[in-house]
Amino acid sequence: MITLCGFGVSNYYNKLKLVLLEKQIPFRERLVYPWERETYLDTSPLGKIPFIEFDGGGLSESQVILEYLEDRFPEIPLYPADVYERAQCRELIQHLELNAEWVARRLYKECFFGGTVSEETKAEAHDRLVVGLNAIGRLAKFSPYICGAEITAADCVAFVHFTMIRLATSAIYDDNLLLKLVPKSNVYMAMMDGRPHFRTMMVEREAAAAAFTALGVPYDG
């Protein structure tokens, strides 16, 4: 049995939850917060969540875990069969994480966790987000899924990161950069949000956010 460890507010945690649900892999969840990192550094050496535990081992880094789940549970694939299309799916995931979410993340301290971010950081993140989101707009197919006719791993990634990017850019710039630069994402997000496993994740995310806020522990992402 796979145990998904972390907390349900994290987009990287929810990326894996979507993958597990869509692939119909039995799993359980173990609630762990980043400030408890001393207890799990053996499995996640940077103390980041999510990580997974299973008989015989554990893994950190959500994309590595995603690939492991795909290799170990191939029955319901989340990558296209064609080798080039598989690479394109991974290419999109890489851009989503490296050039969009990882940039927007620099804003989370202010928009989600009550801290402040310098004007310089905001301006730099803005410029880099424009570049990253334009690249995603060029690669994304939205026909109707992000890589084409079938749902793929890139949809699990895009949904959780788009959710954060539109919240963060609306809050910090008063401008939803996702909507502005990738306008087709709007219909896409509404469609994905209606998908049962995605709905389940979002409902559980709300409960996780309420529990997290009630703890009142200082945290900046």
Ligand X SMILES: N[C@@H](CCC(=O)N[C@@H](CS)C(=O)NCC(=O)O)C(=O)O
Contacts with ligand X, residue ranges (CB under 6 A)? 10-12, 34, 47-50, 61-63, 221
Q: How far apart are CA 85 and CA 166, in angstroms?
A: 27
Nearest-approach distance from CB 154 to ligand X, in angstroms:
14
Nearest-approach distance from CB 215 to ligand X, in angstroms:
15
Task: Name which of 92 and 142 has its Cβ closer to ligand X.
Answer: 92
Task: Name which of 10 and 185 has its Cβ closer to ligand X.
Answer: 10
Q: How far apart are CA 174 and CA 207, in angstroms?
A: 26
Contacts with 173 (C-beta within 8 Å, 6 or more apart), sequence order = 122, 126
Nearest-approach distance from CB 148 to ligand X, in angstroms:
24
Task: Name which of 77 and 221 has its Cβ closer to ligand X.
Answer: 221
Q: How far apart are CA 180 and CA 134, in angstroms?
A: 10
Whether residue 65 contacts residue 50, with contact meaning beta carbons closer than 8 Å, is answered with: yes
Task: Name which of 148 and 221 has its Cβ closer to ligand X.
Answer: 221
Whether residue 131 contacts residue 99, with contact meaning beta carbons closer than 8 Å, is answered with: yes
Q: How far apart are CA 128 and CA 121, in angstroms?
A: 11
Task: Give burial (CB, 10 Å; 0-12/13-18/19+) of 139.
Answer: middle
Nearest-approach distance from CB 8 to ligand X, in angstroms:
11
Element (H, E) at 27: strand 27-31
Chain position carrying tokens 């993958």: 19
Nearest-approach distance from CB 58 to ligand X, in angstroms:
13
Nearest-approach distance from CB 221 to ligand X, in angstroms:
6
Task: Name which of 108 and 188 has its Cβ closer to ligand X.
Answer: 108
Which tokens belong to 68?
């492991």
Task: Name which of 50 and 142 has its Cβ closer to ligand X.
Answer: 50
